[in-house]
Structure 1
Amino acid sequence: MTTMNAAISTKGETPILDNGQGVIDPDVYFEVNKAPADLPEFEEKLNAFVDYHKAKNNNVVLITSGGTTVPLENQTVRFIDNFSNGNRGATSAEYFLEAGYAVVFMHRTNSIQPYHRHFIPSQRGFLDYMRPTEEGSVEVRPEYVEKMHQVLLRYEKAKQENRLLLLEFVTLPQYLFKLQSGAKILARLQEKAMYYLAAAVSDFFIPSSKMVEHKIQSRDGGLTLTLDQVPKFLKPLVSNWAAKGLIVSFKLETDTNLLVPKARAALERYGHQVVIGNMLKTRRQTVTFITQHTEKVITLTKEELDTDVEIESKIIPELARIHQNWIKSGSTE
């Protein structure tokens, strides 16, 4: 969901990245936008993580999670934000770890993280799980001890086994540069890499060359912005950056009749392997797996919903099965 308090126009002058066919060229994007300052640190951490798990012959999944911001000034004060708290990505990371994967969790700063998510419900702050003792220390309140102990055990196990790497982004340029670099690093794992693209990525942006340098002033009244379309990066991801990995994208719709046709159109257009389709109102209960030749609905029963079973507990085993087929035969079937 894109939100801002201004009039937005997506039409106007021809985008400077236009390839002459009305489509913005992804390759040019990286030439005209500045790489994030922390990209070398990102690459160093990811290289070490991938080398470690390549030596162990482990499957590795790159999860993207949370929303991206689109800066409106080069010295950013104002921005457009794609809303996503990152719950699906964080929840999925835990189930991937349970399935034996090493997880690269590339997430929006301050979005929900695996394991931490169990202790940040909106109606209760983290400190509400604790209480001070007369001895001057702090302890977990008795009613939360068992759950916190179990979650902490899983979290510590993932860390001790070096199977969870947390990497951050905020802006759209940070996300895109890190996705490109990260995909190319994971490509060393070939078929044993999976790319689970759960982030909510902006569809429109302002190239840095078109942005004003300083804070946009409000004294002149209303604001009209002309936004360029974000390049379609799934195509080079599939064909170049991660050519042998299993790539999973998501499709969210509000019209049931559009879900499968649009998912199949995406598979045809970009050439990746799996689209997970979900409807806005039932996304936590039902998803549809769409591949080139198959369609499979996974849903939670009322009893499962009543006992807090998470749909990701069924999504990830199905993906692990598909991935094993991909590794063995280069097919999802």
Structure 2
Amino acid sequence: MTEAHAFHAIGLVFFFVAVVVVVVIIIIIIIIIIIVVVIIKNVINILFNLFIFLTFLIFLIIFIVVAMSSTTEAAYFATTPPPAQLEWLTSRARTFISHHAASGRRVALVTSGGTTVPLERQTVRFIDNFSAGTRGATSAERLLTAGYAVIFLHRQFSLQPYARHFSHDASGGTGLLDLLETTTDNDDDDDDDDDEKEEEKKKKKKKKKEEKQREVVVRVKKAEAKNVARVLKHYRAACHDNLLLPLAFVTVGDYLHSLRAVASLMRPLGPRALLYLAAAVSDFFVPPERMAEHKLQSGGEAVTDDDDDDNNNNNSSSPHPREQQQQQKGRRLVVDLDPVPKFLKSLVDGWAPEGLIVSYKLETDPRMLIAKARASLRRYQHHLVIGNLLATRKWEVVFVQPEPSPVRWLRLPAAAAAAAAAAAAAATAAKEVGDEEMPLPLEKLPPGEPDAEIEALIIPAVAELHDAHIAAFKKP
């Protein structure tokens, strides 16, 4: 074999080895690709199955939450007795709503005042919520002026539309009796002839004097007459046109039963319904099964049913053992309260799903106001939260709508000027204070009481939102 043949043979061997190596590499790559594809396919299947599982789990959780909410709602209404006048209240509301639905008028349900939480079935003691009903009564007046028919669901004996102008307040406002004065006619109409006997004249004068003393006239003081006449005119117009329906509640149970009944009746109004929830509703209550029948005792000794022969009766309404123990603690009373179920979601989803729903949020901490309002909107999915602070509620409120709508402060002129000054000072100091989400600093609060009502700004703004709400329903 020659040297050339040897090199040729070696070249063939190397070529063959190279081909084999390439083929092996290709096979390995193909195998790797197949494995990767299989793995990816399995991963995709796993991810898809995981997605299906998580979706199912989410829907299951939502279903359970909704079911629990419905169960809680049903349980609350089943165990909490309705107000005695609920049937009468419902009948009046049905007639009122039907009348205005036929005419195409907008109807507002305004809730006002605070609810109570009874501690006994035969109630002597109760927990009350802070509210005189000023916001609700004033708003009801403004809504009537704006052309609404108003159902005024209020705390019994709280402030009323129009009548509120003649009620004493904490600042020493004018009460009804302060507006009145008594008078008699002092003009002497004696036209007796000169030749009458003196004795007869005296008798006639005495008789006239006695008659005048009996005919005392009560009238409005001249300085107040114009204002009283103005309020009376608006009140009579509302009554004459059947535009105002006052309905009362006392306890949180009364309120919720009444709210559900009236709101459900407003459903046929569709978007023309406005639910303006300004009542201060209790967050906690004593369930009826844990409520004492009689007054909780404040002395060291407790009166229980142990000595009562009827105690063996299975139908006895004796206090819950825990209540008896609480009574036996003497002057120290520990009250066990349950949270009141949140019904705003039921209002949005079922009771009046097409109406414009406005709620109030009262806070004392400025840092929490906007966040709490937004949390409420996310949770209940309604249309507007009007936030206000206890210290500045007469000067300013904030409108918080679902995002991305910005917050909107409404301020009386003096408060607006103070807020603008505070914002300018903060900007000058390069501090992140004074932006649109900051309430009026307490130290900048104008002195005294405002000379105007913040509701004069609130109600036109709410009516404007209601216009847009109705227009949205009319779009094809």
Judge same fold: TM > 0.5, yes or no: yes
1:69 aligns with 2:149: no
Q: CA deviation at 1:247?
A: 0.4
The answer as to 2:464 corresponding to 1:321 is yes
Structure 1 position 236 matched with structure 2 position 346: yes
- The one of 264, 275, 294 equivalent to 1:184 is 264
Give the CA deviation at 1:27: 2.2
- Which one of 284, 288, 291 corresponds to residue 398 of structure 2? 288
Report the 3-state secondary structure (helix = DSSP H, G, I; strand = E; otherwise coil) of the residue aligned with 2:154: strand
Q: Which residue of 2 aligns with 1:309?
A: 452
* Contact 2:140 2:161 survives alignment (8 Å): yes
Note if contact 1:23-1:231 (Cα within 8 Å) is conserved in structure 2.
no
Contact map agreement 1:19 1:25 (CA 8 A) in 2:
no
| TM-score under structure 2 length normalisation | 0.63
Q: Using a 3 Å threshold, how does the CA distance of structure 1 residues 49 and 131 change in structure 2: closer, same or farther? A: same
Query: Corresponding residue for 2:386?
Result: 276
SS of the residue corresponding to residue 391 of structure 2 reads helix
Instruction: Tell me the distance in 2 between the aligned counterparts of 1:159 and 1:287.
Output: 30
> Contact 2:120–2:291 at 8 Å: present in 1 too?
yes
| Residues 150, 245 of structure 2: 8 Å contact kept | yes
Q: How far apart are residue 257 of structure 1 and its match?
A: 2.5
Partner of 2:134: 87
Q: Is the 8 A contact 2:133 2:158 kept in 1?
A: yes
Question: What CA distance in whole angstroms lies between the structure 1 residues aligned with 2:165 and 2:225?
Answer: 13
User: Quick one: distance in 2 between partners of 1:91 and 1:190?
Assistant: 25
Letter in 2 for 1:329: A
Deviation at 1:23, TM superposition (A): 11
Q: Among 226, 235, 244, which residue is 1:164 paired with?
A: 244
Residue 24 of structure 1 contacts residue 230 of structure 1 at CA under 8 Å; is this kept in 2?
no
Are the aligned partners of 1:72 and 1:78 in contact in 2 as well (CA < 8 Å)?
A: yes
- 1:204 matched to 2:347? The reply is no
- Following superposition, the deviation at residue 56 of structure 1 comes to 0.6
Contact 2:396 2:415 in 1 (8 A): no
Equivalent in 300, 312, 319 of residue 412 of structure 2: 300
Q: 1 or 2 for the larger relative contact order (CA 8 Å, sep ≥6)?
A: 1
Given the alignment of the two structures, is residue 102 of structure 1 paired with residue 144 of structure 2, yes or no? Answer: no
Aligned partner of 2:178 in structure 1 is 128
Indicate if the aligned counterparts of 2:394 and 2:450 stay in contact, CA closer than 8 A: no
The residue number in structure 2 matching 1:115 is 162
Q: Please give the residue correspondences for 1:38-77 in structure 2 after superposition, counting only pairs within 5 Å.
A: 38-77=85-124
* Corresponding position of 1:193: 273
SS at match of 2:293: coil
Could you tell me which of 68, 72, 80 is aligned with 1:33? 80
- Over 3 Å counting, the alpha-carbon distance change for 1:20 and 1:315 in structure 2 is closer
Provide the C-alpha distance between the structure 2 equivalents of 1:198 and 1:162, rounded to a whole number of angstroms. Answer: 22
Whichever residue aligns with residue 213 of structure 1, its letter is E
Residues in 2 aligned to 1:22 and 1:244: alpha-carbon distance in whole angstroms: 21
Aligned equivalent of 1:145, options 216, 221, 225: 225
CA 1:20–1:59 in structure 2 vs 1: closer, same or farther (change >3 Å)?
closer
**Structure showing greater Rg:** 2
Aligned counterpart for 1:263 among listed residues 366, 369, 373:
373
Q: Number of matched residues?
A: 314
In the alignment, is the contact (CA less than 8 A) between 1:105 and 1:167 conserved in 2?
A: yes
Could you say what secondary structure the match of 1:281 adopts? coil
Deviation per residue, 1:211-243 (Å, 9 max, x gap): 111111112312111000000011111111111
> CA 1:307–1:284 in structure 2 vs 1: closer, same or farther (change >3 Å)?
closer
Cα deviation, residue 77, structure 1: 1.2
Partner Cα separation in structure 2 for residue 32 and residue 141 of structure 1:
52
Shift of 1:254: 2.4
- Which secondary structure state, in structure 2, belongs to the residue aligned with residue 225 of structure 1? coil
Q: Separation in 1 of the partners of 2:69 and 2:155?
A: 30
Residue by residue over 1:74-126, the C-alpha shift from the partner in whole angstroms, topping out at 9 and shown as x without a partner, is: 11111111121000000001110111000110000110011111111333432
**Equivalent residue of 1:31, what SS?**
helix
Distance 1:76 1:24, change over 3 A: farther
Report the Cα distance in structure 2 between the residues aligned to 1:22 and 1:206, rounded to whole angstroms.
19
8 Å CA contact 2:100–2:149 kept in 1: the answer is yes
Deviations 1:232-290 (A, max 9, x none): 01111111111111100011222222222211111110010000011222111111111
Determine which of 225, 239, 243 is the counterpart of 2:335. 225
Q: 1:84 corresponds to which letter in structure 2?
A: S
C-alpha contact (below 8 Å) 1:247/1:273 kept by paired residues: yes
Q: Distance in 1 between matches of 2:77 and 2:84?
A: 14
SS in 1 for 2:335: strand
- Hey, what's the Cα distance between the residues in 1 that align with 2:456 and 2:463? 11
In structure 1, distance between residues paired with 2:103 and 2:69: 45
Is contact 2:394–2:454 with CA below 8 Å preserved after alignment? Answer: yes
- Runs of 5+ unmatched residues, structure 1: 1-17
Structure 1 residue matching 2:370: 3-state secondary structure:
helix
Instruction: Measure, in 2, the Cα distance between the counterparts of 1:313 and 1:120.
Output: 20
Match of 1:226, SS state, is coil
User: In the TM superposition, what is the alpha-carbon distance from 1:24 to its structure 2 partner?
Assistant: 8.2
More off after superposition, 239-248 vs 133-142: 133-142
Is the aligned partner of 1:250 residue 2:387?
A: no
Q: Which amino acid aligns with 1:48?
A: T
Which residue does 1:6 correspond to in 2?
none
The separation in 2 between residues aligned to 1:255 and 1:41, in whole angstroms, is 41
Q: Secondary structure at the match of 1:111?
A: coil
Unpaired segments ≥5 residues, structure 2: 1-64, 185-214, 301-329, 417-445
